[in-house]
A and B are shown apart, each in its own frame.
Chain A
């Protein structure tokens, strides 16, 4: 998914000039982050607490509404809203963890590829090519179905999902910078590669990495949700947004709120984070903006 986003949109685009959409999206993203952060304070109920006597109750405003369960209860009488909030928290935590791992792996390899030429660079770049070529969702599914869905395996899989984008960005920036006079100067002055990387390269690639990181969070949210939807990601009773949709789909015709509440959150999250990423790209990329 990450690869499609990037190959298809080689340069920024903006939603016309409608900054209002961007403002709304950014506000939404911030609210969702806050909800995830403060889920234990906001959630009206314990997300795991069951009440077998009030199962499958509809949201506020419908018949048989169980007071206090604003978006209804699920098949074990748990509060859907509380589960969705905790699910959002877990989903975002996983997405950040995955994005950080991807950044660490990809950033390191990209830096190495950029600084060291020759076979090292060739090897790393053919790994990048392979990663782009293979359908990663399928690979992730196979890994999880073979090795079981522990949180560790899941986080690793999510981390591997997008490393190649960071590697490409870092390598490209490093090579571009490498040709610039001040790096040459530093090198001539006897600075080692590590010193060069830390003091000259890193500060210059922070902004493209921030943009990529944001987009990666959105992509990983989709990947995690998809895996959990298929029952191969987060395992019950722990809720993630995707697993709530996956487990709730049997109740879709009778109790659609179980599915629609987390589904709405997923869409709101990915949509707003994508636009946030785009906005960051516009802000960060001075050269592009001025062109």
Chain B
């Protein structure tokens, strides 16, 4: 087990290092923050002066070494734009994103598992079909369309729901639903298939033969056994969803999250914020993947053996 853990850890560190280095080089090859966010009305000397001020006149290698030295001592620098420490800028964006993510995971589980079970039990009737059409819709409707149609309906026409920010519980409703579409589709399909697998197995037949009620068979034995796989899938999906789906939703609902921050600092070439933001997201994604891997391994010794 220990070598296996070590391997995961080394892989994680190498991955993060690679991601950060690529980001560092890509940002510096692609433009200059002075021209982007202090753009117009600058005299040529003024521009030179600012480039020196932000220490962008140094060579790429020097900048990279300075960045690594800083990173090792926990110093990630100041934002070019508002001159605050990037750790602070990024930290205040992580929590709102995490909240939204948590809300959509909970929502997804509450919706998908019952739907998946229904679809499995009634796979031959219209109920099962209807459920699976919903699952398809989750894939087919991009989150921005879902979001826009909801805003039009519930905020603009009905004036029921607020559209800006994360102030109250009401603010969570539309962003959560918009974020969850794909996840619900995936988990519903998965739950259904896992249930079908389990329900076809011998111990379920035995349970039925013992005269247990169908509801009990499904809930106790079926869901109990399918649950293990289902949960591990959620873990895998979170990582991708965490950063990706949220950019769109955050920008539509003015949600002060990390996704928007990353894209905006890329556009504005705010290198320090972008670098640290990418590190934060990479660490989160890699950590979730590693934890999922380990959980799998703990649950299933075959994997542990196969991989080590």
Which residues of A approach B to under 8 Å, CB–CB?
1, 3-5, 7-11, 13, 15-18, 21, 130, 133-138, 141-143, 145-147, 218, 222, 225-226, 229-230, 242, 245-246, 249, 252-253, 256, 259, 263, 266-267, 270-271, 274-275
Asked if B217 CB lies within 8 Å of chain A CBs, one says no
Task: List chain A residues, Cβ under 8 A from B149.
Answer: 263
Question: Contacts A7-B236, A146-B26, A270-B139 known; A141 to B247 CB distance under 8 Å?
Answer: yes
Asked if B126 CB lies within 8 Å of chain A CBs, one says yes
How many whole Å from B78's CB to the nearest CB in chain A? 21
- Contact call A142/B266, Cβ cutoff below 8 A: yes
Of the A-B pairs whose beta carbons lie under 8 Å apart in the complex, a sample of 23, sorted by A's number, is A3-B240, A8-B187, A8-B189, A8-B233, A9-B193, A13-B132, A13-B189, A16-B124, A16-B125, A133-B239, A133-B240, A135-B281, A138-B247, A146-B266, A147-B30, A225-B144, A226-B144, A252-B148, A252-B156, A270-B139, A271-B137, A271-B141, A275-B136
With A15-B132, A138-B244, A142-B278 given, can you name 4 additional A-B contacts, CB distance below 8 Å?
A: A18-B129, A136-B244, A142-B263, A253-B156
Docked Cα-Cα span, A15 to B133, in Å, equals 7
Docked Cα-Cα span, A135 to B244, in Å, equals 5
Count A-B pairs with CB separation below 8 Å: 147
How many whole Å from A217's CB to the nearest CB in chain B? 12
- Contact call B182/A4, Cβ cutoff below 8 A: yes
Q: How many of chain B's residues have a CB under 8 angstroms from any CB in A?
A: 62
Asked if B245 CB lies within 8 Å of chain A CBs, one says yes
Docked Cα-Cα span, A135 to B258, in Å, equals 13
- Looking at chain A's contact residues, is the secondary structure mostly helix, strand, loop, or mixed? helix
Asked if B262 CB lies within 8 Å of chain A CBs, one says yes
Docked Cα-Cα span, A289 to B53, in Å, equals 68
Docked Cα-Cα span, A218 to B182, in Å, equals 13
How many whole Å from B100's CB to the nearest CB in chain A? 15
- Contact call B27/A146, Cβ cutoff below 8 A: yes
Asked if B142 CB lies within 8 Å of chain A CBs, one says yes
- Contact call B266/A8, Cβ cutoff below 8 A: no
Asked if B259 CB lies within 8 Å of chain A CBs, one says yes
Task: List chain A residues, Cβ under 8 A from B105.
Answer: none
**What residue in chain A is nearest B27 (Cβ atoms)?**
A146
CB < 8 Å: which of B139, B152, B241, B289 contacts A274? B139
Asked if B267 CB lies within 8 Å of chain A CBs, one says yes
- Contact call A135/B148, Cβ cutoff below 8 A: no
